[in-house]
Amino acid sequence: MSESLNPQSSAPEAAPAPQAAPAPEAAPAPEAAYTPPRWRTESRFGPEGPAPDPAGSHHDRRIRSFQPRRSRVTTSQEDALRRLWGTWGLDIDGKRVLDLDTLFDGRPVVLEIGFGMGEATAQMAAADPETGILAADVHTPGQGNLLALAERGGLDNIRVANGDAIILLREMLAPDSLAGLRVYFPDPWPKKRHHKRRLIQPEFLTLAATRLAPGAVLHCATDWEPYAEQMLEVLSAHPDFENTVPEGGYAPRPAFRPLTRFEGQGLDKGHVVHDLLFRRRKN
C-alpha cells in the first residue's frame, strides 16, 4: 500500500519577503531663535525714553538692586518721560563711565538707589541745590513722577538713571567719585531662603566703598527689624566703613531725610524705622 503524500510537503518553500530598508532619520529641525517680548526690547516712550532692559542679559545678575515690577503709567508720567528723558534721564547700560562733573555742573554727587515715586528725592534736591542726586530705579511710574517733580520745581540737580544700580556702580562710576550713597527702604526679602538677594551684603559694601570718596557716608534706612539688624552687623564688620555713631548702633533720622511713602506705610503698621550712617574710612 502506497503512502499518502501531503500535497504541501512537496511544494518548494516560499522565499522570505525582502525587508524594506529603514528610512533615514529626519534631520532635527533647527531651534527657533529666541525672540524676547516687545516690552523687553521696545520702549513705550519712543527712542528718547528709558530702555526696557538697558544692560541686557550678559551682566552678572546674582544680586540686583531692584525687584522687577510692572505698574500702570499715568498720562502725566508718560508725558514727562517722553519730554524730559533725553535731558534728565540716562540708561544704565554698562557701556561707558559717566562724567559726573559735566552731568551735574561740578556739584558733588550722591547716588540714591531706589527712590519709589520720587517725592522724598525731590524734597532733598530742593533743600540742597548745591548737591547733585543721581537717582537710580527701574520703576517706570516713579521715573516719570520724579521727572515731573523736577521740572515743576526747577530742580536741575537731579538725574534719573534707569536700570540696575549694581551695574551703575561697577561699570559706570569712577573710583572715589561719589560724595554719598543713600539706600532707603530696600526690599527686605523676608523669607530666609531669599536673604541672599538682599542688597546690603559684604560684597555690595566692598563695591560701594570703591566708588565713595574717603569720608563719604553710606546712609541706609529700613522699617524691617531683621534687615536692620543684618545691616548693622555687616556694616559694623566691614573694614572699609565706620559707624558715625560713636557708641555704635543706629543713628537718629537726620533732618535732611524726609519721611518717605514707604516709611509712612511702615509707621502706620507700627514698624520702627532704623537709620544707619556709616562713613567710608579714609585709610
Q: Would residue 121 count as lying in a domain? A: yes
Tens of pLDDT, residue by residue over 167-191, are: 999 999 999 999 999 999 999 888 9
Region for 21 from its dihedrals, namely left if φ exceeds 0, alpha if ψ lies in -120 to 50, beta otherwise:
beta
CA-CA distance, 91 to 85, in Å (whole number)? 10
Tell me the pLDDT of the chain averaged across its residues. 85
Q: Would residue 25 count as lying in a domain? A: no
DSSP H or E stretch at residue 111: strand 109-113
Q: Which residues contact 132 (CB under 8 A, 6 or more apart)?
A: 100, 103, 104, 105, 107, 108, 109, 110, 157, 158, 159
Q: Would residue 48 count as lying in a domain? A: yes
pTM of the model: 0.78
Write down the pLDDT at residue 227.
96
CATH classification of the domain holding 53: 3.40.50.150
For residue 251, give the DSSP letter. B
pLDDT band of 269, cuts 50, 70, 90? confident
Tens of pLDDT, residue by residue over 22-43, are: 666 666 555 544 344 444 455 5
Q: Would residue 19 count as lying in a domain? A: no
CB 172 within 8 Å of CB 94: yes
Q: Which residues contact 137 (CB under 8 A, 6 or more apart)?
A: 66, 113, 114, 115, 116, 143, 160, 161, 162
Q: Which residue has the higher pLDDT, 209 or 46?
A: 209
Catalytic residue numbers read: 187
pLDDT band of 3, cuts 50, 70, 90? very low
Number of domains in the chain: 1
Q: Would residue 16 count as lying in a domain? A: no
pLDDT over threshold 90, residue 266: no
Neighbours of 26 (CB within 10 A): 6
Write down the pLDDT at residue 14.
57
pLDDT over threshold 50, residue 46: yes
Candidate from 13-17, 90-94, 138-142, 249-253 with smallest mean pLDDT: 13-17
**3-state SS assignment for residue 14:** coil
pLDDT over threshold 60, residue 44: no
Q: Would residue 31 count as lying in a domain? A: no
Write down the pLDDT at residue 110.
98
CA-CA distance, 159 to 92, in Å (whole number)? 12
Q: All 3 cell numbers of residue 26?
A: 529626519
Q: At what angle do helices 140-153 and 119-127 cross, to 10 degrees?
A: 30
Q: Would residue 13 count as lying in a domain? A: no
Q: All 3 cell numbers of residue 267?
A: 509707621
Q: All 3 cell numbers of residue 234?
A: 555687616
pLDDT over threshold 50, residue 216: yes
Residue 165, domain extent: 38-280
The letter for the amino acid at 147 is: L
Tens of pLDDT, residue by residue over 49-105, are: 777 767 664 444 444 544 455 568 999 999 999 999 999 999 999 999 999 999 999
Q: Would residue 129 count as lying in a domain? A: yes
Residue range 134-152: mean pLDDT, rounded: 97
Neighbours of 203 (CB within 10 A): 11
pLDDT band of 21, cuts 50, 70, 90? low
The residues with which 135 forms a beta bridge, in sequence order, are: 112, 160
Q: What percent of the chain has pLDDT over 90?
A: 66
Q: What percent of the chain has pLDDT over 70?
A: 76
For residue 108, give the DSSP letter. -
